[in-house]
Structure 1
Amino acid sequence: MDEDLEEIKRRKLEELKRQLAYQQAIQEQEELEREEIEEERRRILSLILTSEARERLARVKMARPDYARAIEDQLII
């Protein structure tokens, strides 16, 4: 009986470890995708903005990140 209980506990622990590893892998993949998207945004903005415009946008971003993001979105679209 105790052996059966221990086996159930062991299996449950293994399943939880697998689930955690799977969730971590998904989170890492999502983070990588976000980083790739941000890098692509930076690349596009560097192509379409002059250095002065990039500086102004950087100043806006420090004061109003949400507004700067909206500006970037409009420029990219």
Structure 2
Amino acid sequence: MADPELEAIRQRRMQELMAQHGAGNNQNPDQQKAQDEAKREAEDRRQMMLSQLLTSQARERVARIALVKPEKARGVEDVILRAAQFGQITEKVSEEKLIQLLEQINTQTTKQTKVTIQRRRNVLEDDD
């Protein structure tokens, strides 16, 4: 290929990449900042409610769980917040009560693994 042809191909490819990148992000920076700020405020409110609902030991345990399994910690937090919204929690959740809740969640969400062994038959074997 000649040099001008290679340069034309590069330019087309660059334009395609720019179009793809631009199509994925149609928001202007002000809208993006507003969304980020709203997410941050919602997370702050969530953490404030959890600090009111959990004892310090329970909060530490949830933080340790979040280090290993963030989705599980988020699920436990959701369960606690939902219970508080429906008035099922009347006092702060202690570490012991949190452990009981975790055990209940574990029994409900246990995954059953199934192993299937498929043996291949050798086509070239003789059945003598």
Structures share fold, TM-score greater than 0.5? yes
Aligned to 2:39: 34
C-alpha separation between the residues in 2 aligned to 1:31 and 1:58? 23
Deviations 1:2-59 (A, max 9, x none): xxxxxxxxxxxxxxxxxxxx61000000000000000001000000000000000000
Aligned to 1:52: 57
Structure ID, larger Rg: 2
Aligned to 2:124: none
Matched, 1:70 2:89: no
Q: Which runs of 5+ in 2 are unaligned?
A: 1-26, 83-128
C-alpha separation between the residues in 2 aligned to 1:61 and 1:54? 10
C-alpha separation between the residues in 1 aligned to 2:81 and 2:39? 16
Aligned residue pairs: how many?
A: 57
Q: Which runs of 5+ in 1 are unaligned?
A: 1-21
C-alpha separation between the residues in 1 aligned to 2:77 and 2:28? 32
Distance apart, 1:68 and its partner CA: 0.4
Runs of 4+ in 1 over 2 A off after TM superposition: none
**TM-score normalised per structure 1:** 0.70
